[in-house]
Chain A
Amino acid sequence: MRIFDPHIHTTSRTTDDYEAMHAAGVRAVVEPSFWLGQPRTSPATFFDYFDSLLGWEPFRAAQYGIAHHCTLALNPKEANDPRCLPVLDELPRYLVKDQVVAVGEIGYDSMTPAEDTALAAQLQLAADHELPALVHTPHRDKAAGLRRTLDVVRESALPPDRVLVDHLNETTVKEAKDSGCWLGFSVYPDTKMDEERMVAILRAYGPEQVLVNSAADWGRSDPLKTRGVGDLMLAEGFSEDEVDRVLWRNPVAFYGLSGRLNLDVAATDATHEGNSILRGGA
């Protein structure tokens, strides 16, 4: 089973996790920039974080045979802190980087005017940079948050088939599917989705444009939940092709919209580039 986890915060995970993920079949991940638990108070700390997502974390992942890409954005929670807003002005120089495959996570947290502004501005940045967008739907007041999110997407320059709305569940999946957006589901140990409900949604709505992620981060979460969903799909009668579609081909198709997806781990392995030195210096 080959697995592409389209949403995982590996910065917060250990090398044991990378090892277990590789053993479970994970060969590619996308790490969206988000908040770190501890609120940041200045743009410079975001830039160090973005640099880490563009350098150190892909290097770490490559050591375990996993291709690492990222999505960059000012997240909605911290968009409410005026000290962090200058990040929006610096994003364009980051969005041109090779490993950036979407703008994200953007969306709503508490549905404030500041979040409205940041969401609209960053959907425009995605359109300007020919990138798709990863849009987080809020944990609180989710159904209303999804409707407001879809309204802003419809008003944006970005067509819905270049938008992935994430953290969906039974209450939001139908409206999200009707919008024409890609559908993301986060499978967690306690909150969000679990494996059984995920399989039920796949049975009800089909595997088209569905992405399943672990959204594993610094909180209680499990980077092997993607594999759990794949195993349960097979046990419940889904075909291997359908599992591959959900866990590999759909994320490849969505992030491939960026034109920047490079799944050749050897090519992203930092030591690969040492060859040019080694061959001459030996």
Chain B
Amino acid sequence: MTHPRPTTGAPAAGNQDSRPAPSRPQPTEGVPPTPLALTPPPTLHAHLTTHLAGAARAWLDQALEEAAANPGTHGPISVWELRLAEAGRRCGSEYADAARVLILHAARADTDAVTRVYFQGTGAERRAVLHALPHLVPGPDALPLIEDALRTNDTGLLAAAVGPYAARHLDPHQWRHAVLKCLFTGVSVSAVADLEGRARADAELARMLGDYAAERTAAGRPVPEDLYRVLALTESGSTPPPHGSAHPHGKES
């Protein structure tokens, strides 16, 4: 009998609603110690250079040179877009996100290009595009990609969508719903960029969190720990939350 991945299957009983339980992310080797979306590309490149094996490193270096030399759109599919597609099998899935961010950066992908490769991409490619947005698109033009990812239930896409690009550009209503969706789907709010800054004194977010906690409690279900963490952040500003329902402590089970 072989059980190669005993922990990744079999959703835990009592999972919120009936959604699949995402495995709790564990720290792993091979990822840089800062978020992809916040790591300057040269630092990311240096990190990959030290971690990738020879053939993968050579492939990446050539892919980046090609992308830098031939950015933009050429023919039905540009060379750098092909490299973006095959980065997983060339670099290994552990390093694929970082490699793809670097390729997008080397190709100086603009809003049109990132939009195209996002909508023509696999889940993994879409995630990489979301990570790359803060490096590539200064204004809010790529927000439709964030909004698309936030409509999915793929926790990898959700976690990537609530990065610094969303923190910078997402309007308050959508941002609050993104935070709530993290709580619903089990994405750690640690993934939410500038959580403290945007949650501070957000009375509407506090109300939504309180209502969600009350709903969970009324159903006899546990309230996600992360909810209290965000709730505390909303209370760290000058404006107090409007309702007493924002304090469901002691009714967690």
Contact = CB atoms under 8 A, between A and B. Distances in A.
Interface residues of A, number: 49
A9 B237 CA distance: 51
A22 interface: yes
A278 B156 CA distance: 12
Contacts of B5: 27, 65, 265-266
Interface of B is mostly: loop
A59 interface: yes
A154 interface: no
B52 to A, nearest CB: 15
B159 A272 contact: no
B155 A271 contact: yes
Interface in A247-282: 259-260, 262-282
Contact of B8 (A23, A93, A265, A280): A265
Interface residues of B, number: 65
The CB with the most chain B CB atoms within 10 A, among A2, A273, A278, is that of A273
A96 B85 contact: yes
Contacts of B98: 276
A16 to B, nearest CB: 11
A169 to B, nearest CB: 30
B4 A274 contact: no
B123 A54 contact: yes
A176 B8 CA distance: 38
B27 A281 contact: no
Contacts of B24: 271
A282 B188 CA distance: 10
A258 B122 CA distance: 17
B190 interface: yes
B114 interface: no
A190 B185 CA distance: 39
B159 to A, nearest CB: 4
Contact of A55 (B25, B96, B122): B122
A54 B98 CA distance: 19
Contacts of A63: 8-9, 11, 20-23
A181 B195 CA distance: 56
Interface string B182-199: 000001101111010000
The CB with the most chain B CB atoms within 10 A, among A19, A58, A59, A271, is that of A271
A270 B28 contact: no
B121 to A, nearest CB: 8
14 contacts: A15-B20, A63-B8, A63-B11, A63-B21, A96-B85, A97-B122, A98-B93, A98-B122, A262-B88, A262-B89, A273-B97, A274-B156, A276-B36, A277-B191
Interface of A: 1-2, 15, 19, 22-23, 25, 27, 51, 54-56, 58-60, 62-66, 92-93, 96-99, 259-260, 262-282
Given A55-B123, A65-B6, A98-B86, 8 more contacts: A59-B156, A64-B8, A98-B122, A272-B156, A274-B25, A274-B159, A281-B190, A281-B193
